[in-house]
A and B are shown apart, each in its own frame.
Chain A
Amino acid sequence: DSGVTQTPKHLITATGQRVTLRCSPRSGDLSVYWYQQSLDQGLQFLIQYYNGEERAKGNILERFSAQQFPDLHSELNLSSLELGDSALYFCASSPTGGASGYNEQFFGPGTRLTVL
């Protein structure tokens, strides 16, 4: 158990819908990262938040957005869902923002999203 929690564990929805995935980082960790993992694309970095502010952006679609709240939990919002958005979405946390270089990330169990 990494200490990172994600809800829900599974989500099944229809195309065109909107969903929200939730992540609670390990106690004391200030950074939250979101990743998408699909069978054909491996693990793709989406976005990072550090202490409430956006720190880095990866391959995140405009239909997707995220935020980190004052209590440091984070939410990933996916809208106008398409079949290709079906994937495992991981959240990870780390103590710092990574400026020091060493930046071990602790991954949550993931949310499996299925878009029908």
Chain B
Amino acid sequence: GQNIDQPTEMTATEGAIVQINCTYQTSGFNGLFWYQQHAGEAPTFLSYNVLDGLEEKGRFSSFLSRSKGYSYLLLKELQMKDSASYLCAVYNYGQNFVFGPGTRLSVLP
């Protein structure tokens, strides 16, 4: 089966660092993606991990541990515009994309 878990909601303060976790159990694995989605808008790509370790991209970093079925997205120097939902998605060439429920992040001044 396919199962992806993320916390439903998180709150953080402007300028702070926040870590959004994602755990997954899927029948196959060809990569893990993180997307950002503002309310009522389309998801936009943030990061991609296929090997274990940390990928850094500006204020955003993503980590993957395939043996633990675990990933996290790290957002640094939070800005108000980072208030959005963050979607973890596992890609499996056979079953395609399976998205997690998303984590709604609120950044407070």
Interface residue ranges, A against B (CB under 8 Å): 2, 33, 42-45, 48, 55-56, 58, 88, 90, 98-99, 101-110
Beta-carbon contact of B91 and A58 below 8 Å: no
Q: Is the interface of B mostly helix, strand, loop or mixed?
A: loop
Size bracket of the B interface: 20 to 34
Chain A hits for B50, CB < 8 A: 101-102
Does B95 touch A at the CB level, under 8 Å? yes
Contact B100 A45 (CB under 8 A): no
- B43, closest chain A residue (CB): A107
Q: Do A109 and B97 have beta carbons less than 8 Å apart? A: no
Residue B75 interfacial (CB < 8 Å): no
Cα–Cα, bound, A109→B93 (Å) = 25
A-B contacts besides A33-B96, A42-B101, A107-B44, 20 pairs, CB < 8 Å? A33-B97, A42-B100, A43-B89, A43-B102, A45-B96, A45-B98, A45-B99, A56-B94, A58-B96, A88-B40, A101-B30, A101-B50, A101-B91, A102-B31, A102-B50, A105-B97, A106-B45, A107-B42, A109-B41, A110-B41
